[in-house]
A and B are shown apart, each in its own frame.
Chain A
Amino acid sequence: MLDLIMQGITEIMHINTLLFILFGVAWGTIGGMIPGINATIAMALLLPFTWGMGPTNAIVMLCGVYAGGEYGGSIPAILIGTPGTNAAACTVIDGHELHKQGKTGLALYTSLNSSVFGGFFGAIALLFFAMPLAEVALAFGPAEYFALATLGLTMICSLGEKYVFKGILAGFIGIFLSTVGFDPIKGVPRFTFGVMSLNSGFDMVALMMGFYAISEMFKQAQELLGGEVFELKGDPDTHFPKWKEIKGLFKWNVFGSIFGTIIGVMPGAGATTAAFISYSEAKRISKDSSSFGQGNIIGVAVPESANNAATGGAMVPLLALGIPGSNSTAIMLGALMIHNVSPGPMLFINTPEIPYGIFVSLFFANVFLFFVGYMFIKFAIKITSISKPVLIATVIALVYTGAFAYSGELFSIGVTLAFGVVGVLLRKMEIPHTAVVLGFVLGFLMEANLRRGLIISEGSFWGVATASPISAVLLAFAVFSVGFAFVRGLRMSKAELS
């Protein structure tokens, strides 16, 4: 093992290779910062340039982009309340609140520290436990995915803040949105009204950017009209957090990283799911759960460590099984294939320098990420001094560009705009749009896998529920948490009435 790691280090320790990683990190961070461009798109843009490089350089640069992209999304999330990437959507909730309170430096640097921590955690897990983690991926069949998605959906109950039932309603809206497009089992289009562009369902990028970025920009524009412009009182505090503050978040970083790594491993889940699930689990177990959403720094640390830890996790199925678990790793698969390297179990035997090179490069990428992030934060803070109308116009233009880039269709821009308007309405009605997005992300996973599970169990729901101890336990948790939420919801409604 040690000699293989050494081999990986010698593979990476070239000035060119290190520069490629550094460039990848910077490129990824910038891509992440631009709303609508996520790690996947930033990687796809670089892909054509990787074909002149060796396979190792190509893949390590993409690893850098991946790490940078998952981090970069948090910067606009905190500063302008618009996530740069889907996986940073959770960071908006508390991060932007902290910025409004003037604790800008604390939020930005905590997000950076947690991202780097999560990245290291994921890389270590990948290095030492790639094979056992691959077993986790294999243990998850349709029944287990169904159970996981169901448990994830029960979090909706806790996202409704004051109104549990509004959260549940929002979740159902999201689940409905996820049914638009091809039926995952029968292969026929549903709810598309003959619109071809809807066949593959709503684009995740378009939907999330509509809900989070466009609706936030509309809201801010409206505030400008109404004259109630949010102004920071004095200069925001932009100091690097004190050691005591960093140390206090250590256990939350570990918490987020564990969720991120494990959920990242599962094909079909990924960084966004990891961020959402870890955030609401942190909220659930925290002693101080009512302060989440009001600017609790834990609400930044947990999802940010989770989405970066997911990068290490997501490499597990790619390298150990040869199967990409996410869009980003699918691009990495492409980058390897063009160099006639096919990932999978044989990679460790035929060309061990590539997987071990990737492991080592992830460590370097996270070291670079710290410095790149540190520099970018210094200048990103200036964003807040840009005039609001200019900023709003720029963000909207960038979001539309990103939505268009993802699919190459003007239709996506329409979808983004439509969800932006819906997002404004939801805000007005105090229906939590995060719950809608969660329903959308997990609804499809739940439906497709329930139906696959039912084919395997020959139509028996009980057979799906008891397919394995994993599915049984996860579903039992789900039932328990729904029951708990209903009791809480009823008690709250009574309290409101009386």
Chain B
Amino acid sequence: MSKKILMVVLSLVMVMTLVVGCGSNTPAPTTAAPTTQAGGGETTPEATTSLAYPEDNIEVVYHSKAGSGGDIFLRTMGKALEPALGVSWVVNNMPGASGATAFEYAASAEPDGYTLLGVSSTIITAPLISGMTTTYKDFEPVCMMFTDPMVVFVQEESPFQTLADLIEFGKANPGTLKIAGGTPGELGFVVGAELMRVAGFEMALVPFEGGGDAAVSVLGGHVDGGIGEYAEIASSVEAGKLRIIASLNAMPEAPEIPTFASEGYPEIQIEKFRGVLAPKGTPQEVIDKLAEMMKTAFDDPDFQQYIKANNMIPNYKVGAEFTAIMDAQHEQVKSTLE
């Protein structure tokens, strides 16, 4: 009896160790068959002409841990995509070095469409903050899927009813307004810096790691307000504990929430995006086919429910349009860091 238990437990230990060791970082079997152009200068014709893609599992690298918002986005999209792809959509989490590990791994992968990089605005902000050599410019845009709406929020009892109230108070009492947001270079900080610059007033931005901690300090009344992602505070807003005074992005699900544009600051445009990039040099046909299939993912009812439940704004952009958004954000973040 006890021998049997011992065997079961030992084999579970073995399984777990193997899963840990191999699972977290096994590159999905990178295709040997369709891409043999590594050798010489000649481009193999079948890689460009045949659209027999995908024939093998697709590895999607992401810079954050399993269970994080972006990880769930990629995996939910994978569920909606797999029937069309006919192969597995394997999300590989590489949280090391604040993103650099994932970015470098994906950038140096074979540009054959079998290794992709799932991205959020971190692909713009992280290289700028820590001076990484790999940036979004080392990738081809596949498509942008969503915007995570960013909002300015206050405690329910706060005297500030509108964005104008907040700015007016900031102007009348320079430096006394305390707003929780991200560390310099993060989008929450960029929003605050842009607002101060455009509206011409001073407030203290209190940096928190992650929107959750910022929301707690607003809920607890330790600061006057906060800037963060809507998804992180949605439940508290619904429960009437926090109030949104303005959103950076128009939300189709909540049209009553005023936007920066409707409040008179249309020039402040910041979009926290989610999308997919491919290593530079990936054939355009492959990218087009992928982007097309990702578009059909929107029709999946489960995916639709996920969009609604997580308060994301569908925002499908491909090619140059996607690049333009990344370029603009790159400049924006860079200017607030200077």
Instruction: Report which A residues bind B (CB closer than 8 A).
Output: 26-27, 30-31, 33-34, 37, 41-45, 47-48, 51, 137-143, 182-189, 196-200, 267-268, 317, 321-324, 327, 330-331, 333-335, 337-338, 340-347, 349, 375-376, 378-379, 382, 398, 401-402, 404-405, 407-409, 411-412, 448, 452, 455-456, 458
26 residue pairs A–B, Cβ–Cβ below 8 Å: A33-B13, A43-B67, A140-B220, A141-B217, A141-B223, A142-B222, A182-B130, A199-B130, A322-B235, A327-B65, A331-B65, A334-B67, A334-B68, A340-B306, A342-B235, A342-B310, A346-B238, A375-B5, A378-B2, A407-B96, A408-B96, A409-B101, A411-B96, A411-B97, A455-B204, A456-B204
Assuming A407-B96, A456-B223, what are 10 further A-B pairs, CB within 8 angstroms?
A37-B16, A137-B220, A186-B184, A267-B212, A322-B234, A338-B72, A407-B95, A408-B95, A409-B101, A452-B206
Task: Check A409–B217 contact: CB distance below 8 A.
Answer: no
Task: Check A405–B216 contact: CB distance below 8 A.
Answer: no
Task: Check A344–B235 contact: CB distance below 8 A.
Answer: yes
Task: Check B236–A344 contact: CB distance below 8 A.
Answer: yes
| Minimum CB–CB distance for A100 against chain B, Å | 24
Contact of B101 among A321, A345, A408 (CB under 8 A): A408
The B2-42 residues at the A interface (CB cut-off 8 A) are 2, 5-6, 9, 12-13, 16-17, 19-21, 23-25
Known: A44-B65, A456-B178. A323 touches B217 (CB 8 A): no
Residues of B within 8 A of A48 (CB): 66, 75
Does B335 lie at the interface of the complex (its beta carbon under 8 Å from any beta carbon of A)? no
Task: Check B220–A141 contact: CB distance below 8 A.
Answer: yes
Task: Check B9–A379 contact: CB distance below 8 A.
Answer: yes
| Minimum CB–CB distance for B76 against chain A, Å | 6
Task: Check A188–B129 contact: CB distance below 8 A.
Answer: yes
Known: A27-B12, A184-B207. A345 touches B66 (CB 8 A): no
Contact with A along B212-239 (1 / 0, CB 8 A): 1101110111110000000111111011
Residues of B within 8 A of A330 (CB): 65, 67-68
| Minimum CB–CB distance for B98 against chain A, Å | 4
Known: A334-B66, A340-B305. A51 touches B79 (CB 8 A): yes
Task: Check A398–B217 contact: CB distance below 8 A.
Answer: no
Residues of A within 8 A of B308 (CB): 340
- Chain A-chain B contacts (Cβ-Cβ < 8 Å), number: 213
Task: Check A197–B239 contact: CB distance below 8 A.
Answer: no
Closest-by-CB residue of A relative to B13 is A30
Task: Check B98–A333 contact: CB distance below 8 A.
Answer: no
| Minimum CB–CB distance for A240 against chain B, Å | 16
Known: A44-B65, A197-B101, A452-B206. A382 touches B238 (CB 8 A): no
The B121-135 residues at the A interface (CB cut-off 8 A) are 129-130, 132
Contact of A379 among B2, B69, B305 (CB under 8 A): B2
Residues of B within 8 A of A140 (CB): 220
**In the bound complex, what is the Cα–Cα distance between A37 and B19 (angstroms)?**
11
Task: Check A199–B98 contact: CB distance below 8 A.
Answer: yes
Residues of B within 8 A of A344 (CB): 234-236, 238-239
Does B148 lie at the interface of the complex (its beta carbon under 8 Å from any beta carbon of A)? no
Residues of A within 8 A of B208 (CB): 452
Closest-by-CB residue of A relative to B224 is A456
| Minimum CB–CB distance for A201 against chain B, Å | 10
Task: Check A200–B97 contact: CB distance below 8 A.
Answer: yes
**In the bound complex, what is the Cα–Cα distance between A30 and B11 (angstroms)?**
11
**In the bound complex, what is the Cα–Cα distance between A187 and B69 (angstroms)?**
22
Task: Check B20–A45 contact: CB distance below 8 A.
Answer: yes
Closest-by-CB residue of A relative to B102 is A408
Residues of B within 8 A of A455 (CB): 178, 204-206
Task: Check B183–A142 contact: CB distance below 8 A.
Answer: no
Task: Check B94–A342 contact: CB distance below 8 A.
Answer: no
Does B209 lie at the interface of the complex (its beta carbon under 8 Å from any beta carbon of A)? yes
Residues of B within 8 A of A404 (CB): 20-21, 24-25
**In the bound complex, what is the Cα–Cα distance between A44 and B95 (angstroms)?**
13
Does B100 lie at the interface of the complex (its beta carbon under 8 Å from any beta carbon of A)? yes
Does B137 lie at the interface of the complex (its beta carbon under 8 Å from any beta carbon of A)? no
**Total count of chain B residues near the partner, CB < 8 A:** 73
Known: A334-B72, A338-B75, A379-B6. A321 touches B216 (CB 8 A): yes
**In the bound complex, what is the Cα–Cα distance between A44 and B13 (angstroms)?**
16
**In the bound complex, what is the Cα–Cα distance between A151 and B237 (angstroms)?**
34
The 4 closest A-B pairs by CB, nearest first: A344-B235, A334-B67, A141-B222, A187-B183
Known: A199-B130, A340-B309, A382-B6. A456 touches B235 (CB 8 A): no
Residues of A within 8 A of B232 (CB): 322-323
| Minimum CB–CB distance for A441 against chain B, Å | 15
Residues of A within 8 A of B66 (CB): 44, 47-48, 331, 334
**In the bound complex, what is the Cα–Cα distance between A349 and B13 (angstroms)?**
40
| Minimum CB–CB distance for B66 against chain A, Å | 4
Task: Check B67–A335 contact: CB distance below 8 A.
Answer: yes
Does B93 lie at the interface of the complex (its beta carbon under 8 Å from any beta carbon of A)? yes
Does B185 lie at the interface of the complex (its beta carbon under 8 Å from any beta carbon of A)? yes
Contact of B130 among A196, A401, A402 (CB under 8 A): A196
Closest-by-CB residue of B relative to A347 is B235
Closest-by-CB residue of B relative to A50 is B67
Does B197 lie at the interface of the complex (its beta carbon under 8 Å from any beta carbon of A)? no
Task: Check B222–A408 contact: CB distance below 8 A.
Answer: no
Residues of A within 8 A of B67 (CB): 43-44, 47, 330-331, 333-335
Task: Check A324–B212 contact: CB distance below 8 A.
Answer: yes
Residues of A within 8 A of B222 (CB): 141-143, 456
Does B289 lie at the interface of the complex (its beta carbon under 8 Å from any beta carbon of A)? no
Task: Check A334–B71 contact: CB distance below 8 A.
Answer: yes
Known: A138-B220, A196-B100, A456-B204. A184 touches B20 (CB 8 A): no
Contact of B175 among A26, A42, A44, A458 (CB under 8 A): A458
Known: A268-B213, A334-B67. A182 touches B206 (CB 8 A): no
Closest-by-CB residue of A relative to B129 is A187
Task: Check B235–A343 contact: CB distance below 8 A.
Answer: yes
Task: Check A45–B183 contact: CB distance below 8 A.
Answer: no
Residues of B within 8 A of A139 (CB): 220
Task: Check B183–A137 contact: CB distance below 8 A.
Answer: no
| Minimum CB–CB distance for B296 against chain A, Å | 20
| Minimum CB–CB distance for A261 against chain B, Å | 18
Task: Check B183–A409 contact: CB distance below 8 A.
Answer: no
| Minimum CB–CB distance for A221 against chain B, Å | 21
Residues of B within 8 A of A349 (CB): 239
Closest-by-CB residue of B relative to A334 is B67
Task: Check A34–B16 contact: CB distance below 8 A.
Answer: yes
The B295-310 residues at the A interface (CB cut-off 8 A) are 305-306, 308-310
**In the bound complex, what is the Cα–Cα distance between A180 and B117 (angstroms)?**
28
| Minimum CB–CB distance for A216 against chain B, Å | 19
Task: Check A409–B186 contact: CB distance below 8 A.
Answer: no
Known: A142-B222, A345-B241, A379-B9. A45 touches B204 (CB 8 A): no
**In the bound complex, what is the Cα–Cα distance between A344 and B217 (angstroms)?**
16
Closest-by-CB residue of B relative to A200 is B98
| Minimum CB–CB distance for B191 against chain A, Å | 15
**In the bound complex, what is the Cα–Cα distance between A51 and B71 (angstroms)?**
13
Task: Check B219–A138 contact: CB distance below 8 A.
Answer: yes
Known: A345-B239, A379-B5, A408-B95. A182 touches B75 (CB 8 A): no
Residues of A within 8 A of B305 (CB): 340
| Minimum CB–CB distance for B4 against chain A, Å | 10
Contact of B239 among A42, A141, A142, A346 (CB under 8 A): A346
**In the bound complex, what is the Cα–Cα distance between A393 and B175 (angstroms)?**
59
